Structure formats: C-alpha cells, structure tokens
A and B are shown apart, each in its own frame.
Chain A
Amino acid sequence: MLVQQLFLLSILLYAAGAVASLALNRAGKIANYASGISAFVAASAGMASAIQVFARGTGFTMEATDFIPFARFIIQVDLFSAFMVLVISLLAAATAIYSLAYQEEYVGKGAGVLGFLNNIFIASMVLVVTSGNAFYFLIFWELMTLVSYFLVSFDQENQEVVNAGFIYFLMAHAGTAMIMLSFILFFLYTGTFDFASFRSANLSPATKNLIFLLAFFGFGVKAGIMPLHIWLPRAHPVAPSNVSALMSGVMIKTAIYGLIRVSVDFLGASVWWWGLMVLAFGAISAVLGVLYAISENDLKRLLAYCSIENVGIILMGAGVGMIGAASGQPALGVLGMLAGLYHLINHAVFKGLLFLGAGSVIYRIHTKNMEEMGGLARRMPWTGLAFLTGALGISAIPPLNGFVSEWFIYQSLFMASTSSILTIKVLSPFSATLLALTGALAAMGFVKAYGATFTGPLRSDPAREAREVPVPMLTGMAILAAGCIALGLGAPVVAPYIGNVASALLSTSPVRVSDGLLVFPVSSARAMLSTPLIALLLVGLVTLPLLIVGMQAGMQAGRRIDSEPWACGYKYSPRMVYASSAFAQPLRVLFRPAYLLRATLARPGYIIALYFKGAVVYVARVEAMWEHYVYRPLVRGTVYLGKRVQALQIGNVRLYCLYIIVTLVVLLIATVR
C-alpha cells in the first residue's frame, strides 16, 4: 500500500505547493520557498514510490470514483510508467532546489505565479505518464501544454518571447489533434477510453498503420523530431532556466513515452517498417539537430537544438527495439529499447544540468550570447565544473553516462545489422555511421559551449564582475552532476533495471546485460564494456605523467604565471580569442547546404572609397533549411488560399442569400434522391 500512498502524497504536495505559492504571491520570497520546498518533497516522494515499484518488480493501479460517465479515472503504474516518474521526479527535485535561489529574481515579478505554474507543470507530467485512460491522458497532456505555454511566454514584454509562445501553442495543438485522432480510432474499435482495452483491441492492419502514423507525428511534434521541431529552439530558451531544464529534460520525454506506449504497448510494434521509420527520423534529427546546435551563439538555443539531437538518439534506440520486436528477435527488441530508455534518463540528467548551468551563467551576467561570455570558470569555478561534467556526459565521453547509452545503441545497431530483412541490414550500419557523425559534432558543439563560456579571457564587463552563484543553485546542479557520474560508472547496476523495463514493455523474458562490473549486449561474447574499470584505470594511469614530472622535481624551475598569451608580439586583446562563431565557422562552411549559409557584406557598394571610411561588417547569416523550404511555403500557401477564399466573401448581402439558396437546393436534391 505504501507505494500508492507515496504516489498520492507526491501529487497532493505538488497541488498544495501550487496553491500555497499562488496564495502567497504578494509575500514574494515566501511564495518562492513554499513552491520550491513542496516541489522538492513531492519529487522525493515520487522517486521513493517509483523506486519501490522497481524493487518489487510490479506496478499498481488506482481508480477513483467516476467523475464523468464515459471515462474512468485510472492511475496505472507499470515499470515503464515508474521509470518515467523516476526521471521526471529526479529532475524536478534538482530544479526545485535550484529555483529557491534562482527564482528570487522573479520576486515582485510574479514569483508566486511562476511557482504555481511550475508545480502544476511537474504534476501534469507525472499524471500524463501514469494515466490509464486516454481521456484523462489527453486532459493532462493539454494541461501540460497549456502550463508550459504560460511558462514559455512568462516574460510578456519581449516580442521574441511572445512569438515563440505562439508558435509553440500552434504546433503543440496540431500535434494534440493528431494524438486525439489516434485515440478516437482506438475508441471506435473498443468502445472505451481505457488503455487496458486498447491493448486487446482487434484492429485491421490498415487501422494500425494509421494509428501509428498519427501517434508518431502527433507525439513527434512535442518530442521535436526533425521536420516538426521548429517550435523547440524558440520556446525552450525563452522560459526561465529551471523551466527550460524541465522542458528539455523531461517534457519532450513524455512525448517519447506516448509514442512508445501507443506503438509498442498498444499496437505491439507488429510491423517492422514502423521501427525503421522511427530509426530513420531519429537519425536525421540527431545529425541535423546537432549541426544547427553548433552554429548557435545563443547558449540556451544551442542546448535546445541539442535536445533535438538527443531525442533523435533516443528514437534510434527505440526504433531498433521496435524492429526487433516486429521481426521476431526479442533480444534485439530488449536491447534497442534498453539503449533508448537509458539515453532517455541520461539526457534528462545532463541536459537538465546544462540548462541549470546556463541559467547560472545568465543569472550572473544577464546575456545568453556566448560571444559576450568567456573566462567564467575562474569567476564561477563550481558552475564551470558542473557544466563541464554535463558537457562531457552529452558528448559521450567515457566513462560518463552519455557514452554508456550510446554504446548500447551502437551494439543494438550492430545486432540489427545481422537481421534477415535487407533494408534493415543496409540501414543499420549506416545509422551507426550517422551516430558517429553526431558524436563527433556533439563533441565539437560542447567544446565550443564550454570553451566560449568558461575559458579564455573575460570578454565583457558583467563577466568581469561575475561571482559564484548561491548555494541552492549549486546544490541543484551538484545533484545532476552526481547523476551523470552515477549513471556512467554505475552502468552495471543500472542497466539490468532498465533492461527489465524494456522486457516488460515488450512482454518478453528478461535479458542479461550485466555481470559484476561488466555490461554487455545480451551475450558477453560479442562485446563488453566496464565503465568502472575504465574510470579506475584512468585514475591510476594519471599517476604516470605526474611521476614523470615528479622525477624531475629536484631540478624543476617552477612555474611562472604570465599575464597574457603570446600574440605575435602585438598587444594582446581579448578580441583575438577564438570565440563562439569563429570556432564553428569551419562547420558552417563544410555543411553549407544544411544551413543555407549566406555571407553578405553589410555595407555593400561598388564605390571603393566607402571601404576606407568605415569598418566593413561581414555578416554571415545562418538560415535553417526547414523553415525556408517547408514552413515558409506552407505559410505562403495558406495565406494564398485564404486570399482566394476571400473572393467568396465580398460583403454583398444578395450574394450571401444566393449561397444559402444554392446550399438549400443542393441539400434538397441530396435528400430527395
């Protein structure tokens, strides 16, 4: 019984925190503490509940008395839901502590409202992943969308923010409409909205395909897969940073939850091209997402684009899992799903950490532009260390967590390459290649992100005056940094649990993926990995260079701190440093087509004298391909169509009467026949 009570307690605490925060809005600081502390306790309760589900190996179901006649309010927690609750709660706990100090900036500017929205947001996400009924799922889904919309457009005075919010609102609802349609199709065949009956629905193959496609694109909008991503890099950066962390870290994961729930759990992942489609969209999102991330100068936009990349990587794993399930290779299914889910929790942890780190930087120097940052590691050493941990994790640097999940994805792709279906056999190694490209690009992107922000000279006045952030913010980051290390070094402990989630989801027997300090893909003869051993050896081997240096300690001449780096004998200036856009310039040129790169001289003209009078500014514009080729024509087409349709409506009453009469006549003929 304790599991259920802890879960209920968690939800009630979120609700109580929300109400208290709103009620205390006038009191400012107290409202902030009320919302932060209650969210932290609630998240802890949620984690405790989820961990108990894992420990017992079974979930639970709760049902409330009927509010509405046609839909039962059911909370249904299986291993997959518990996993999602754990991920959401973990990030919620970290951001709650972080927000204690961070949101003080908003005191007097609606801190109470922010706390209210925050608590509701987290609770709605938890309820989305635990709903056992499609109707309530959609209600909580909408609640989540709506609350996050308010959070995105919290700063109403900024036009960029308002636009971002609008695009988010529009895209999110287009997605919801598709999800709704897929659920209605289920309803037509089963007569109820219960997830339990969706599972046993007797559907024709065509209906199944239709439902899958609707769910894929519907959830795909929220997840930010590639052609549907355009709201994401706009909306995520403009929210307060603790909210950005939640949106990028877990909100987009609820969409992955939904997609897997529908296509694997309800539809049984019975058709192999579904998995292939998920894999292909995943691979494209991964490569292009990180490519756009690299060229960004706005730190939070860089992180947002990178979320598209990571969603892509997660979908690659899930796609292989679905292929395995459909092609009668249960071990492959479990392995792929394990890889995807492992990357899901990893991404939540390191992306949360990176957004909180970015938030800390912005908290101190009030700009998101990396060109104006630099050298902050000396001013904010702990923030720098935390951000570096996240950067290493997301760049898949062994032995941290990102590497473990990407390793599993490589292994699952390797296993898929031996499939008997030719298309999969061809595309799996190719996907591995794309993953390698993504890995190299991500490493470059995060060398840039950390390098431009935290290293080199201090490039602006606010940066020169920056100090370390308050302890609550550091604590929030420390929790997630510890998570990055634990999920990496603890892989042999963590992987079996996630493997159980995967095998329960595919209803196959569990697969062994670890032994002692080792993890391996199903069979240890194929490959092995031991992150604890790698860490141990690295630490051990570091002593060697220290020894070499130490041998000469007797005759060492010591170290001199020079004031400035060498600059060819010229006076050194911080402007000489390779900053954010310069660092990414080679890639912009190499991948020109993907960016639609255009270099223009801002002061054009053929009069040579002009070039001597003032500085010529060189502007390289980066335009996103999708907006140019997909969305702009779409908008233009809609406007064009609208104008055409306007011809019907010219304000002449007699014409309108004519329309009515024509309609009546048509209807009359139709009924008579």
Chain B
Amino acid sequence: MIKTGYKTKKAIGNVFAYIFLILICIIWLFPFVGLVLQSFRSYATEYGGMVSYIVPKQFSLDNYKFMFSGETNFLLWYKNTVTIAFFVSLLQTMVILCVSYALSRMRFAGRTLLMKSWLILGLFPGFLTMICLYFLLKQFGLTQAGAIPGLILVSVASSGMGYYVCKGYFDTIPKALDEAARIDGASRARIFFTMTIPMSKPIIIYTALVAFMAPWNDYIFASYVAFGHDKSYNVAVAMYRWMNTNDYQGYFTRFCAGGVLIAIPVTILFMFLQKYYVEGVTGGAVKG
C-alpha cells in the first residue's frame, strides 16, 4: 500500500519532469527551427527580408542555390574558415600539450612565476590589442591578402596561456608511471610521446574541438586583419555584413541558409565528440 503510494508519487514526479524537459527542449530548439525554416523560404516569391511569420508559405532551395552559385565568395569564405579552424585546431593542440606537460610534469626555475603571470595576462581585455597585433602582422605581410596565415599565427601564438584545463588533466595521471619509466631509462621526451599522449585521448580531443569551434565565431579580429579584402574573409566577417549593412537588402534568408551550412559541420563534429568533450571538461576544467 505504502509502496504503491510511493510509486504513484514518483510517477507523478516523473511526468512533471518530462513536461518540464519537453518545454525546455522546445525553447532551446525554437531559434534553430526558425533558422532552418527561414532558410527554405522562397526568395523569388516571398522576398528575402524579415517577415513576421515563421513557416514559409512556399519552400524552396533558392537561398542555398545562391550560396553555391558563385555570386558571392561564399565557398571561398567557407574554405578559409575551415582552413583556419583546421590549422588552429592542430597547432593549438600541439602547443597546449607541450606547455601542459612541461608545467604538470617538470619542475624548473620560474615555473610558478610563468603560470601566475599567464593567468594574470589572461585577464587583460584582449581586443584592445587588436590594432597593435594588426601592425605587427602587417610587418610580416600577414594582413589583407595574407590574413589567413596571420589569423592562424595569432591564435596559435598565444594559445600556450590556455594550458589550464589540459594541465589539470595531466595532473590526474599518476606520476608513479613516469617515475617507473624513468627508472627503466626512458627520456622525458619518450615518456611524453609514448605514454602521456596516448593516455590523454579525451583531453586531446577536447582541446582540438574547442580550438576548432572558435574560428567560426571570430568576427572582430578577423574583420580587422582582412579589411577591404573580400577573398580573405571568413564566414563570420562576410555574413555579419549581410545582417548589418544597408548594402545587403533582402539577405536575411540567405543569412539563415549560410548559418545552417556553417552550423552543420560543427554540430556533427560536436555531437560525435560530445562524450570526449564532457570527459575533457570534467577531467580537466574543474578537476572532479
């Protein structure tokens, strides 16, 4: 009798939980559904600007066709962004692994000073230094036409400061393993490459994933470095104009279509690697 009462109570609790979850999911998905629906609105019959309804009266692929038609450099911008994201992801992961290993495993003069000063440097509002970085890059010829390598260089060069999460993860790998290997005569470099790295799959994937996702959002600095050079834009710089410059009337649905195309690879990647993301972030970021 008591047991059934408990069960009913629990069942009712679960029903509320489900209702609540469904509600949350609707709220969370709404903007994306809106984005996708608008991207299929027919440009020819319903105009490309803003409208006050969400379901298009006529579905069409006009906006997607426009993206691939070559009327704009969309494919080039897309390629630029993928290039940046790929190289930043690759190089940044390497840099972070190196820095984290050195900080986690080795004890050297100035180690704590280094960590302290990097944490403090990280509190400085970064984009104030944009104009300075711009002129530094310009000295190396890495602006305008050379903006892509320039953006990669800047992202990678400062990435060592983001050692925090990865070092936290390395700290959880028992030091005794290292010691044992050293007694067997293995060098530090050997331990790093043959032991530590293979044991760090989640954190490597986490670092690479985070690094890969960032360039898709880079509007401010990318627009600074590439200004006035359409071919060096990334998707964020190019498409931001569609929403905020008067020259692009009726680009709203195109913006939505572009947004969907951009979201696809990142979302797929994220969905597949979500497990590692959670492992990485809980294993390193908060030291659980």
A interacts with B:
no
B residues engaging A (CB < 8 A)? none
